[in-house]
Amino acid sequence: MAFGKFIQGLAGNFSEQNKETLIKEYGQYLLENEEIQSGYKLIRDSIIFTNIRIIFTDKQGATSRKMSIKSIFLMNIVNVEMETCWSRYR
Dump pLDDT digits (tens) for 5-57.
555 555 567 888 999 999 999 999 999 999 999 999 988 889 999 999 999 99
Question: 46 burial class (0-12, 13-18, 19+ CB within 10 angstroms)?
Answer: buried
Which pLDDT does position 47 carry in this prediction? 94
Residue-wise pLDDT for 53-81, tens only, equals: 999 999 887 777 889 999 999 999 998 88
Read off the pTM. Answer: 0.74
